[in-house]
Amino acid sequence: MADLMPVMDGMVQTLAGSDLWMALAIPALPILAALVTFFVGKRMWRGGAALPIAAIAGSLGLSLVFFLRMLNGGEPVGWSIAWFKVGDLTFTVGVLFDNLSVWLMTLVSLLSLLIVVFSTAYLADETDEHLRRYYAVKALFVAGMLGSVVMDNYLLMFIFWEIMGLCSYLLIGYWYTKASAATAAKKAFLTTRLGDIFLFLGIILLFTTFKTLSYRELFHHPDLAAHKDILFWAGLCIFGGAVGKSAQFPLDLWLPDAMEGPTTVSALIHAATMVKAGVYLVARTFPLYVALGLGIGDSVFLLIGLVGGFTALYTATMALVALDIKRVLAYSTLSQLGYMFLALGAGGYLFLHTGSGAGFTAAMLHLMNHAFFKALLFLGSASVILGMHHHQDLREMGGLRSKMKVTYLTMLIGSLSIAGIIPLSGFWSKDEVLSTAFHAGSLNGVFFVLWGMGLLTAAMTAFYMFRMMFLAFHGKPRTESAENAHESPATMTVPLALLAVAAAVSGLWLVFGPGFSGIIHYPYSADLGEAEFEASGHLLMEILTAPLTYLSLAVALGGILVARSKYKAGLPASEAEVPTRGVRGLLYNRYYVTQAVYEPLGNVVAMGVAKVANWFDRKGIDGAVNGVANVADRAGARTRRWQDGKLTTYMASVAVGVAVALFLLHEVVLRFRW
């Protein structure tokens, strides 16, 4: 019989009965859909889209059930069983549905559903044979993201994390006959693997020291304070994993190249969901960083904020001269992710000193808003690319405003949102991020510098987003494809419209109703400590009366106006060619970091070592082996000349042998008198 009441179990209520089935179905449905689609998808509608859409819709529905419960004040629930034992250590499998995971899984399922529906039209001209691969891997990816978010221990999270990495590899290299796509996929996998080594090490450190990987048990472990040194290194390693997955400096090189995949893939994986997994990981690990206490914890949060702030500015500069519409969005994703880490870092620092969880909330709010407007922008660009008959270069566009009205309007909303114009969503979260950094700056001067970087980034963001908008949609069409552009079908425009609405209003959740910080705050589960958040109406007044708010608004408007003045008329002559020299060349080539650091490391150092090792193995080690055999061979060659087949030689041997034997016998007899 279905049991609808969760069973009490101390800290977190245990899922049971139909609730448990619903909870497990959320990551399980897409996996099943992926398997079935992979094997029989060819014969299904649009190469197999039906099952993944149904499965993701199912996951969304189930997530909404838990989401609504949470909004109505529901308690966190969880469940776990033993998976396998090694010696006397047990590994478990389980789920944890607290505020953070429920909210994120709902967000992920919603976005995934819209994007997969969108792709049925976007990829309409692919062959069914290949499309089943696309849909199956997409479904597996969604399962991976949902799994990462709902699992209750680090090991299982890592497993689904790697599955996401696999799907990213497969989808970036979807058009595997293109050399650039195959290279980009490999680069993505290897770079994230480097980050994953750190995460792997961090998990090992935690497991061997505390004998558990379950979030609840770890965060409440009695020995946490005694092992601060291990906790420090483990925390850093976990952050290393996040740096890889969320493409922060110095592991940012893979994300722009990942644009080789279909745009819907970029939208889902590289904008809305997978890259957020790193932010989620740091958010989830927050209690461990906090447990490090003042001093050590400060330095960790400072590092997180530093990496985030630096990446935000660094990647924003690259977007200033980008010529491919997807590249602009890729750089902007990196930059916004930087904001999230900045917020987490500054927020953690503030929490340690003042107990304010505002930074955590700001980061999560920005995560949600960014997911919406970035997915919107990417899908919009997909619409543009489709309308332009698969041309992506901004220099070839122009005047699309009149030909693709819905796309234009939705992308305009998205751009305004990312630039941070009131009352759209981006404004609220970006403002919160910057104000957190500013307040942390009063405690530690470095954060003040980071705030400045964040402000500069905001100006640049507004600038390059509207540069993109003006170059693509305003002015006159610069090529034939732009002339003949057409609007996209409803399957694409409807999701765009829905996302535009979300991108417009999602930020308002911060200040209306119970307030975002009433739901997503740190500590994020009731059992993890006292909740401390700010009432929403109060927050609205604070924001509207702070001078910082108007500063960031002014900066954003300034950026838009500069872009308008430069690009409203169309493409300036100076930007017609791909830049190779000077500052623009530097930015276009991403500061030559790849060429200067990664390529030598890979091609020269690694391959060099490999070739030397190969030579050493063949000539050195194997040479020694063959040498031994050679010595034996030559000794044999010398000795066997005795056997020359001549009768006389053999008789001579007999004679000599007899003489020697007689001599020895004589000597022996004489000596020992036998």
Partner 1 sequence: MIPIAWTLTLSSTLLAVGIFGLLAQRSALRILVSVELVLNAANINFVAFANIRGQSQGLVFTLFVIALAAAEAAVGLAILLHAYRHVRSVDVNKMTLLRW
Partner 2 sequence: MLDILSEGLIPLTILATLVGTLATYASSNRTSRLVALVASLPALAATTYMLWKVGFGGATYEFHASWEWIAAIGARLEFGVDGLSASLAWLTAVLTPLVILYSWHENTKPRLFFALILLMDATVLGVFTSLDLFLFYIFWEFVLVPMYFLIAVWGGPNRKYASTKFFVYTGSASLVMLLGFMALYFGAGVGSFSIPVLTAIGHTLGYAKEFAMLAFAALAIGFLVKMPSVPFHTWLPDAHVQAPTAGSVLLAGVLLKMGSYGLMRIAIPILGDAFTAHHAVALGPIAFWWSYQWAFYVLGTVSVLYGAFLCLAQDDLKSLIAYSSVSHMGMVTLALATVTPLGFAGAAYMNVAHGIIAAGMFMAAGSLQHSTGTRLLSRLGGIAPRVPRLTGLTATLFLASLGLPGLMGFIAEFTIFAGTWQAFGWLILIPIWSILITAGYYLWALQRGFYGPEVRHPDVDWEHMHDVPTTERWSMVALIVLALVFGVLPGLLMGSYNAWTLQVLALLGGA
Binding stretches for partner 1 (CB under 8 A): 640, 643-648, 651-652, 655
- Amino acid 118 reads F
Measured from the CB atom, the residue of 82 and 655 that comes closer to partner 1 is: 655
3-state SS assignment for residue 281: helix
Q: At what angle do helices 425-441 and 296-319 cross, to 10 degrees?
A: 130
When CB distances are held under 5 to 8 angstroms depending on the partner's kind, the choice from partner 2, partner 1, none that residue 208 binds is partner 2
Question: Helix, strand, or coil here: 95?
Answer: strand
Distance CA 20, CA 32 (A): 18
Q: How far is the CB of 44 from partner 2 (least distance, A)?
A: 18
Q: How far is the CB of 659 from partner 1 (least distance, A)?
A: 11
Residue 644: contacted member of partner 2, partner 1, none (CB under 5 to 8 Å, by partner type): partner 1
Burial 416-426 (b: 16+ CB within 10 A, else e): bbbbbbbebbb
| Closest CB 408 distance from partner 2, rounded Å | 36
One-letter amino acid of 265: V
Residue 85 or 641: which CB sits closer to partner 2?
A: 85
178 binds, among partner 2, partner 1, none (CB under 5 to 8 A by kind): partner 2
**Among 287, 357, 362, 318, which Cα is nearest to 548's?**
362
Residue 83 touches which member of partner 1, partner 2, none, C-beta under 5-8 Å by kind: partner 2
Taking the CA atoms of the chain, what radius of gyration do you get in angstroms?
32
Sheet containing 89-97: order of strands? 13-14, 77-86, 89-97
Question: From the list partner 1, partner 2, none, which binds 629 (C-beta under 5 to 8 Å, kind-based)?
Answer: partner 2
Q: Toward partner 2, which CB reaches closer, 1 or 86?
A: 86
Residues that bind partner 2 (CB under 8 A): 83-89, 155, 158-160, 162-163, 166, 169, 173, 176-179, 182-183, 185-186, 189-190, 193-194, 196-197, 200-201, 204-205, 207-208, 602, 606-607, 609-611, 613-614, 617, 621-622, 625, 629
**What is the rounded distance in angstroms from the CA atom of residue 389 to the CA atom of residue 619?**
56
Q: What are phi and psi of 324, to 5 degrees?
A: -95, 130
Q: Among partner 1, partner 2, none, what does residue 89 contact (CB within 5–8 Å per kind)?
A: partner 2
Q: Closer to partner 1 at the Cβ: 535 or 656?
A: 656
* Closest to 25 (Cα-Cα) out of 146, 131, 111, 113: 146
Phi, psi of 4 (to 5 degrees): -90, -15
Residue 166 interface partner, choices partner 1, partner 2, none, CB cut-off 5-8 Å depending on type? partner 2
Nearer of residues 83 and 550 to partner 2, judged by Cβ: 83
Element (H, E) at 435: helix 425-441
The residue among 625 and 652 lying less far from partner 1, judged by its C-beta, is: 652
- Containing 471, the helix (H) or strand (E) segment is helix 445-473
Question: At its nearest, how many Å lie between partner 2 and the CB of residue 612?
Answer: 9
Cβ(424)–Cβ(507) under 8 Å?
Answer: yes
CB 627 to partner 1: min, Å: 23
Residue 129's SS3 state is helix
**Residue whose CB is less far from partner 1, 354 or 643:** 643
Nearest to 239 by CA among 273, 205, 190: 205
Of residues 635 and 660, the one with the C-beta less far from partner 2: 635
Question: Cβ 304 to partner 2, closest distance in Å?
Answer: 22
Asked if 248 and 278 count as a contact pair (C-beta separation under 8 A), the reply is yes
**613 versus 652: smaller Cβ distance to partner 1:** 652
Shortest Cβ 624–partner 2 spacing (Å): 8
Minimum CB separation from partner 2 for residue 308, in Å? 24
Could you tell which of partner 2, partner 1, none binds residue 655, using a CB distance below 5 to 8 A set by kind?
Answer: partner 1
Which residues, 6 or more positions from 378, have their beta carbon under 8 angstroms from its beta carbon?
A: 263, 264, 266, 267, 271, 272, 326, 329
Shortest reach from residue 632's CB to partner 1, in Å: 15
Q: Residue 423, preceding bond cis, omega within 30 degrees?
A: yes
């195959």: which residue's tokens? 182
From partner 1, partner 2, none, interface partner of 18 (C-beta below 5 to 8 A by class): none
577 interacts with, out of partner 2, partner 1, none, CB within 5 to 8 A per kind: none
CA distances from 138 to 116, 255, 378 (A): 8, 18, 16
Q: Which is nearer to partner 1, 581 or 646 (CB)?
A: 646
Strand partners, 393: 324
Contact 457, 444 (CB under 8 A): no
651 touches, from partner 1, partner 2, none (C-beta below 5 to 8 Å by class) = partner 1
Which residue, 615 or 663, has its beta carbon nearer to partner 1?
A: 663
Task: Name the strand (E) or helix (H) holding 82.
Answer: strand 77-86
Q: Which does 565 bind (CB under 5 to 8 A by kind): partner 2, partner 1, none?
A: none
Residue 207: which of partner 2, partner 1, none does it interact with, CB under 5 to 8 A by kind?
A: partner 2
Q: Which is nearer to partner 1, 88 or 644 (CB)?
A: 644
Smallest separation, CB 615 to partner 1 (Å): 36
Please tell me the distance from the alpha carbon of residue 603 to that of residue 594, in angstroms, as a whole number. 11
Q: Return phi, psi of residue 153, to 5°.
A: -145, 160
How far apart CA 301 and CA 286 sit, in angstroms, is: 10
Query: Please, is 229 exposed, middle or buried when counting C-beta atoms within 10 Å of its C-beta (0-12, 13-18, 19+)?
Result: exposed
To partner 2, the closest distance from the beta carbon of 243 in angstroms equals 15
CB of 194 to partner 2, least distance (A): 6
Partner touching 640 among partner 1, partner 2, none, CB below 5 to 8 Å by kind? partner 1
Closest distance between partner 1 and the C-beta of residue 607, in Å?
Answer: 48
Q: Which is nearer to partner 2, 260 or 396 (CB)?
A: 260
**83 or 592: whose CB is closer to partner 2?**
83
Shortest Å, Cβ 641 to partner 1: 8
- Contact status, residue 395 vs residue 322, Cβ threshold 8 Å: no
